[in-house]
Structure 1
Amino acid sequence: MKKIGILVIVLISAVNSYGQEKKTMKEFDSNFAHTVYFWLKNPESKEDKASFVASLQKFLNASKYAKTNFIGYPPKASREVVDGSFTFSLIVTFESAEAQQKYQEEDVHLKFIEESSHLWTKVIVYDSVPVQ
């Protein structure tokens, strides 16, 4: 039984370190952060969620301007101040406000909106630049 426990710890360590090498990680660019929250019309629909995420990932993988990105969903709220009402969140970083503007006009971004806008009821965007 002790050997199994050690094997489990070794496997967990290996899995947790996978992809964490510097050469495989993208570095967060703090010049411009673009945070988007999406509320899907049918947040319980597995098909809608899968379609939305697939379209979003396709778009982000093809973007010439997005430096890093994170797609998430709300965890179960543990505090009153946590807003977990959205279905998905997106955080994208850019080297500049100009790059973010070009991203907004990119064909792949416009295609994502065309493909997926029927899935959401609400979108809120928060853009941020660093405190100097």
Structure 2
Amino acid sequence: MKKTFISLSFLLFTCITFSQTDKHMRELNPAFVHNVYFWLNNPDSKDDQKNFEKALKKFLKKSKHAETLYVGKPPKATRDVVDDSFTYAMIVSFKSEKAQEKYQKEKAHLDFIDEAQDLWNKVLVYDSQGVKL
């Protein structure tokens, strides 16, 4: 039992310590949330993944309008309602719809598209604005 507790504690520590801790990460701003899903042409290619992540990291560091910066990969789906077909997910939040519109036109965003668009064959975007409950 003690060994299991130590193993679980180490796992939790590792997840917290090595999770996305970039200084650009901030609390999610519910005003405007931009969810982007990418399907790479060659999702199993380590070189394509490396190039995509490099372009994405450069873009997110340079964006002047994006607040929350989250990038993830899908876990293996265990339920029918979960779509695990995408290669990468990105969640970016903004102070307002106007800030998101500026983001769409900013050089960092346009450079990312130019640099990485040959790596993907599909992109889906789900934008939403917060609802007060």
Same fold (TM over 0.5): yes
TM-score (norm 1): 0.84
Residue 85 and residue 13 in structure 1: after superposition, are their counterparts in 2 closer, same or farther (change >3 A)? closer
SS of alignment partner, residue 67 of structure 1:
coil
Alignment-derived partner of residue 103 in structure 2: 103
- Inter-partner Cα distance in structure 1 for 2:7 and 2:78: 29
Structure 1 residue runs of 4+, over 3 Å off? 4-20
Alignment-derived partner of residue 79 in structure 2: 79
- Inter-partner Cα distance in structure 2 for 1:85 and 1:14: 29
* Uncovered stretches (5+) of structure 2, i.e. residues with no partner: none
Q: Superposed, which structure 2 residues align to 1:21-36 within 5 Å? A: 26-36=26-36
Structure 1 position 69, deviation (Å): 1.1
Matched, 1:65 2:65: yes
Residue by residue over 1:47-97, the C-alpha shift from the partner in whole angstroms, topping out at 9 and shown as x without a partner, is 001100110111001100000111011100010111011110100000000
Counterpart code for 1:67: E
Structure 1 position 43, deviation (Å): 0.5
Structure 1 position 7, deviation (Å): 7.3
SS of alignment partner, residue 116 of structure 1:
helix
RMSD: 2.3
Question: How many residue pairs are counted as aligned between the two chains?
Answer: 127
Alignment-derived partner of residue 115 in structure 1: 115
TM-score (norm 2): 0.84
Alignment-derived partner of residue 124 in structure 2: 124
Identity %: 47
Residue 97 and residue 88 in structure 1: after superposition, are their counterparts in 2 closer, same or farther (change >3 A)? same
Residue 84 and residue 8 in structure 1: after superposition, are their counterparts in 2 closer, same or farther (change >3 A)? closer
Alignment-derived partner of residue 39 in structure 1: 39
* Uncovered stretches (5+) of structure 1, i.e. residues with no partner: none
Structure 1 position 27, deviation (Å): 1.4
Residue 44 and residue 5 in structure 1: after superposition, are their counterparts in 2 closer, same or farther (change >3 A)? closer
Residue by residue over 1:12-71, the C-alpha shift from the partner in whole angstroms, topping out at 9 and shown as x without a partner, is 565455489xxx662111110000000000001000011001101110011000001110
Counterpart code for 2:29: D
